[in-house]
Each structure stands twice: as structure tokens, then as C-alpha cells.
Amino acid sequence: MIIAANLKTNLTRIETLKYLKSLESCLSKKSITQEVLVFPSPTSLNTHDGKVTIGTQNAYGASNGAFTGEIGSIHLDEFGIKTILIGHSERRHVLGETQEDLVKKFNFYRNLGFKIVYCVGEPLEVRETGFDNMMQYISKQYAGIDTEYENLIIAYEPVWAIGTGLTPTSEDIESIHKELKKKSSAPLLYGGSVKVSNAKEVLGIDDVEGILVGGAALIAEDFCKMCEIAQEIEKS
């Protein structure tokens, strides 16, 4: 299983260091062998020695240049970062990245061999138009994306479930993941209001191969607990 924490615009550099320290100690105490990814804020990116793989929540699709406010691959190289989150709903809907922007970024980091966690998911108004329309909408988010890329991980995150405490039913997640698995054999994570109390149910659903956790991952012990739950499910 793959267990990922998206820390978003939270935790300072010092807080992130403390977070990683307690996460690493918890993971090793519980002998976690699952793949654990953490995406801290850009100013908290750093070299890291441990079980956790550090990824960036964003970067521009260039090594460097005149892209005010962005970071490029040279800034990631400095810290040995080789993992990136692309297509998160906040980047699509709050920061206005288009599918074309995402494809450019995807291709740039694919060509550098990065592990890419690529997010897809529908807003509520699309979901309310029915299953077929919703799947069509999500299909468009696959346009231009190399779904056979060997270092690809896909995360299905319904926009209306992110940070709201709402989650689709297990049956919903199962049927959507089943459809999405037809598009790519890449590991498929679920994200959107996953927390300690529902992680077991979510991770137990067919075709859920991991989770991408935001708010509930901000407490290292809770995130570690979710890694432990994933490990128990994988073993059973």
C-alpha cells in the first residue's frame, strides 16, 4: 500500500522537521514496510534520511528561469527530491491550472524520471449529474497523461470530499476505482477526508491501493496509525 500525506500550506520548516522525526520514530517502532510519502510546504523541502520519501506539492515544469514565485527542478535536485504531486484539486480549482498546464508539467517531470502522484476527481455539481457524466468528466483529466508511465501513482479525490469531512460510500469508491483501473494499471489511491476512524474501511475497499491524506495527516501519530492500518490490511 502507499500512504501519502499532503501537508498543504501548513507546518513551518521547524514544525516539519519535528513532524518527520516523530513520524520516523513511530514508523520504525511499528516496523512499517509500506511506502510512505510526505509532501511538505515548499519552504520545508529538505534532504531526508529515513523511511519516508519526501515529495513536492508543486514545481514549475522547467529546471529554472523567469517564472516568478515558482520553483524548478534545480531546487528539487538540491534536496534530492524525485517525487511530485500533480493535478491536485486545489491547484486545478483554486490556483487555476488547466489540463494543458498539468500535461506540460507532467511531461517535464516524467522525462526526469520523477515519481508522479497524479490527482483526478469531480466537483459536486458534476457528481450530481450522474455516474456516466461524472466518469466522462474524470476521463478528461486523463487527457494527455501517459497512463503507462512506470513511476505513476494516481489518486482519486472527489473535490467535494476534500477537507469537508464528507466521503463517498464504500460502494461508490469501489465502482469508481473499478472504472479508473481500466484506464491505468498504476497504483490507485483514494483521497478526501480520510482519517484514523475511516482508514480501515477505505483501505479495505477493492482497488484502493493506498490513501492520500490532508488534514488528518497533520498529526504525525495519526498519520502513523493510518500507515499501521494499511499494513494490517495488506497482511490479512
Which residues sit at the interface with ligand PGA, rule CB under 6 A?
Answer: 6, 157, 162-163, 191-194, 212-216
Residue of minimal Cβ distance to ligand PGA: 214
**Residues 201 and 180: beta-carbon distance below 8 Å:** no
In degrees rounded to 5, what are phi and psi of residue 217?
-90, -5
**Measured from the CB of residue 6, what is the shortest distance to ligand PGA in angstroms?**
4
Sign of dihedral through CA atoms 126, 132, 136, 141? positive
State whether residue 12 is helix, strand or coil.
coil
Residues marked active site are found at: 88, 157
Secondary structure class of 10 (helix, strand, coil): coil
Minimum CB distance to ligand PGA smaller for 9 or for 47 = 9
* Contact (CB, 8 A) for 132 and 94: no
Between residues 81 and 202, which has the closer beta carbon with respect to ligand PGA? Answer: 202
Across 199-219, b (16+ Cβ under 10 Å) vs e yields: beebbebebbbbbbbbbbbbe
Cα separation of 52 and 38, whole Å? 7
Judged by CB, which is closer to ligand PGA: 40, or 215? Answer: 215
Q: How far is the CB of 3 from ligand PGA (least distance, A)?
A: 12
Minimum CB separation of residue 63 from ligand PGA in Å reads 27
Structural contact between residues 32 and 231, judged by C-beta atoms closer than 8 angstroms: yes
d(CA 224, CA 198): 14
